[in-house]
Amino acid sequence: MSDEGGLLAARLSEKLLADLRLIASVAERLGARAWLVGGPVRDALLGLRVTDIDVAVEGDAHAVAEALARGVRGRSVLHRDFLTAVVRLPDGRRWDLATARRESYPAPGALPVVEPACIEDDLRRRDFTVNAMAARLRPEGPSDLLDPFGGRHDIRWKVLRVLHGRSFVDDPTRIVRAAVYAARLGFGIEADTMGWLAEAVGAGALDTVSGHRLGEQLRRGIETDAAPDVLANLEAWEVLPWLGLPARLERRAALDALPLGRRRLGLRATSIGPAAFALAAGEGAEAAARHLALPRRYADTARHLRALLAVGVLAREGGPSRPSEWEEVFGGAGPGVVLAVWALVGEDRRGALRAWWRLRRRLVLSIGGDDLLAAGLPEGPAIGVGLRAAWLKLLDGNAPTRERQLAIALAAARDWLGGEGREGGRRHEECE
């Protein structure tokens, strides 16, 4: 094993190394050569935790993927147009494989036309030098680091550098990726690269790619703690309008607070994405989410946040304080909405919001609908009314026992049946 291979191996988990050895063995048995490429090599050299497997195969990646899937009792998904494959393991993990290939672009922004090639050509088609490195995979472990464009040098100096001057024109999604990598890795942009990026933006290169492709890259960047810096980079480079967002970030303080809020609320990093997008896009968030083909939770978060702002829920005077009041405000809102509101309110109210959020995730009612039916309530909306009343009292600490919860639920349900429920029934009869 070479010195570089030993360095990589020392920074990979035993489980990951075992996976790579298996891939190498299967590739060699089929007469192919496998290389660990791109992000995993970069992150290992940076000393970061590596979780993904991205492999280039000099040979038939589809045949290697199918053989691997049979061996691990997993499933292979083949994408023949792009010579790529995914092996999905029974435990939920995935291995990404691709035939080493060269690319040509029939027009700026178009999807590339690919054909099999050697590993050197495969590295030549990549976006940045730090992603254009590969380590040969052998049954005994990684070896022979291939770095034809000086990726290790740029890692040392913490800079992003494209491989050629037309990189952002050929694939303008690299503009968004540059913002993401710079923020996540804490890298600067090399001078020529910054000049080519600015030229591409000014020439309207982003108009040559679909919103879906831009949204996919943006989502990968903002569903992380780096989201505020990703958006700040895009603002500085005058890219935001091309994504359907305002040219200036009006809520920068709230955006900057999101990573801390995520940790305080105990949320996954993916929750930052919808919150950051809703804060950054403002009134146009739903239209921008559609343009970028973002998951539905983005538009839902934006719509719910806009409704809360419209009714003045963030006003300092008379706002929610008790857990039950926060519950009434948010209703069924997702974590992105809660996180965005946490970032917008003052420090004096963040503690109360956090207390409510943690309570609602920890507490569980001791009663259910069957208990109310057994007590004589009829099937229908009254069941939900009763359970809701008991839940609100539980949040405020006023229904600690099962008996107390049942009494509250029955009283609320019977009140509803004797008031609003009965009135609703009369209105229904009149309509008939």
Is the torsion defined by CA of 395, 399, 405, 411 positive or negative?
A: negative
Which residues, 6+ apart, have CB-to-CB distance to 1 below 8 Å?
9, 138, 140, 141, 142, 143
Query: pLDDT at position 211, please?
Result: 95
Q: Beta partners for 116?
A: 101
Contact of 179 with 128, CB cutoff 8 Å: no
The tokens for 202 are 């000014």
Amino acid at position 171, single letter: D
Write out pLDDT tens, residues 179-238.
999 999 999 999 999 999 999 999 999 999 999 999 999 999 999 999 999 999 999 999
Of 93, 97, 31, 95, the residue nearest 61 (C-alpha):
97
Q: Which two three-digit tokens encode residue 321?
A: 């304080």
- Cα three-residue angle 248-319-280, rounded to 5 degrees: 15
> What is d(CA 159, CA 431) in angstroms, rounded to the nearest whole number?
71
Between CA 64 and CA 90 the distance in angstroms is 18
83: left (phi over 0), alpha (psi -120 to 50) or beta: left
**Which residues fall within 8 angstroms of residue 121, CB to CB, at 6 or more apart?**
100, 101, 102
Q: Which residues pair with 55 in a beta bridge?
A: 36, 97
Report whether pLDDT(11) > 90.
Answer: no
Question: Binning pLDDT at 50, 70 and 90, where does residue 2 land?
Answer: low
Structural contact between residues 134 and 56, judged by C-beta atoms closer than 8 angstroms: yes
Backbone angles phi, psi at 105, to 5 degrees: -110, 110
Q: Look at residue 429 in the predicted model and tell me its pLDDT.
A: 35
Return the pLDDT at 431.
36
Domains of the chain (ranges; CATH) run: 3-151 (3.30.460.10), 178-362 (1.10.3090.10), 369-431 (no CATH)
Query: Residues 301-354: pLDDT tens digits?
Result: 999 999 888 877 666 555 677 899 889 888 888 999 999 999 998 888 898 899
Kindly report the pTM of this predicted structure: 0.88
Question: Angle at the Cα of 84 (from 113 to 26), degrees rounded to 5?
Answer: 140
